[in-house]
Amino acid sequence: ETVLVTGASGFIAAHLCQLLLAEGYRVRGTVRTNAKGDYLKNLFEGKGEFEYVIVEDIAKPGAFEQAVKGVQGIAHTASPFFLNAAKVDDLVKPAVQGTVGVLQSAQKYGDQVKRVVVTSSVAAIMQPGPGPYTLTEDFWNTESPQVLEKEGDAASGPHKYRGSKTLAERAAWEYVKESQPPWDLVVVNPPFAFGPIIHQVSKPEDINTSVATFYAFTHGGKTESDLGTSPGNWADVRDIAQGHLRALIVPEASNRRFILSAGPFTSQEIVDEIHTWKPEVPNVPIGKPGNGKAIASQAVTFSGERASAVLGVTFRSFGECLRDMHESLEKRFP
Ligand code: NDP
């Protein structure tokens, strides 16, 4: 069977492609440039059947018409993830139009499609703070779309991103309700994705948003004042890829959303872990070693229980995730 992975050049998508190939699926990835496609072709050389097609602009009507032909499953991961966008449309337009565009093309031209998995985010679930409380798939982020409507381009960068993910996921469910396609929809909602990078990143400034958050800790970009809070929830990119794969194939997943979260993390836990490494990483703040769990207990928890129960996803430890992420970054940028 062939799976179409949109935005194959991304951090999460490259892992998903790798996993699908390892499981014996043929993979067709969409990328914006030949250079990104050729990088992936090289990466997956000898690991299975990988091909790529160019989709330069996911927001363009009909962008996926060719890409969906002959595939049985689709994982739509392509969506801009930046927390400093100037304009609402920089994020909302590609997020919403890209998502609806994939679904339209799947219905019109994807005559073999059985299931579409859309990568949403816990950003589409998030509620105004502070914690501690637990959020499940029953919640929707109603705040960010309202903020975008009220404040427009003046809205904060995080609201622009969260709004884009919320509006895109909402549009996906609405599309399915209204258009009654012959395939079913599954949505996955990951939190901060950490773990090793395998996608193309040629300089540190180009590291994807979530991994860049960690890279700052090991490269003098954080101070003592950055500790003491929980920036959010996390999961290992390899477990998130596993969640996508299971979402594509588990029958009971049909028409549901799945939080792919290992739970809250704190900056204190990141620095505590880094300080155990040899050789030592310089310029890493110290904070109050051992205090991370107490800080995390005050945070908002996104529950990964449904993903564990229905999809059978298991979540790696934070330590393993951080070590593997660091190693991959050191190799890339010694
Ligand atoms: P990346 O930035 O690494 O990947 C994003 C992918 O989308 C890239 O392939 C990128 O192409 C493509 N893309 C972005 N904008 C456009 C556009 N306008 N037209 C065509 N392609 C576009 O991000 P991640 O791997 O981190 O994210 C993948 C998905 O997971 C996104 O939907 C994101 O919202 C979601 N997500 C990510 C989380 C995280 O912590 N990383 C957490 C929760 C959800 P190119 O390589 O050419 O830029």
Residue 170 Cα to ligand 1 middle (Å): 18
Query: 265 CB contacts (<8 Å, ≥6 apart)?
Result: 192, 230, 231, 232, 233, 234, 292, 296, 318
CA distance 314 to 23: 17
Q: What pLDDT score does 229 carry?
A: 87
Backbone phi, psi, residue 227, to 5° = -90, 175
Which one-letter DSSP state was computed for residue 2?
E
Give the model's pLDDT for residue 331: 96
* Sites in the chain below the pLDDT cut of 70: none
- Give the DSSP H or E segment for 236: strand 232-236
Give the pLDDT confidence of 305-327 residue by residue, as tens digits.
999 999 999 999 999 999 999 99
- Contact of 168 with 160, CB cutoff 8 Å: no
CA of 288 to the centre of ligand 1 (A): 34
> Hey, what amino acid is at 190?
P
For ligand 1, mutation pick of 11, 77, 81 (most atoms within 8 Å of CB) = 81
Q: What is the Cα 256 distance to its own chain's centre?
A: 17
Q: Name which residue sits closest to atom 14 of ligand 1, judged by CA.
A: 80
Q: Which residues of 139-157 are buried (b: 16+ CB within 10 A; e: fewer)?
A: bebeebbebbeeeeeebee
CA 80 – ligand 1 centroid, Å: 5
C-alpha of residue 35 to centroid of ligand 1, in Å: 17
Q: How large is the C-alpha radius of gyration of the chain?
A: 19
> Of all protein residues, whose CA lies closest to atom 47 belonging to ligand 1?
32
- pLDDT value at position 129? 80
Residues within a 6 A CB radius of ligand 1: 7, 9-13, 32, 36, 57-58, 77-81, 94, 119, 121, 165, 190, 192-193, 208, 210
Nearest Cα neighbor of 49 from 70, 28, 69 is 28
Over residues 30-70, the pLDDT tens digits come to 999 999 999 999 999 999 999 999 999 999 999 999 999 99
Cα 262 to Cα 313: distance, rounded to the nearest angstrom? 10
Instruction: Give the pLDDT score at 130.
Output: 85
Q: Which domains does the chain have, with CATH numbers?
A: 2-197+233-263+301-316 (3.40.50.720)
Closest to 237 measured CA to CA, from 191, 301, 288 = 191
Q: How far from each other are the two terminal CA atoms of the chain, in whole angstroms?
A: 39
Tokens standing for residue 311:
């999809």
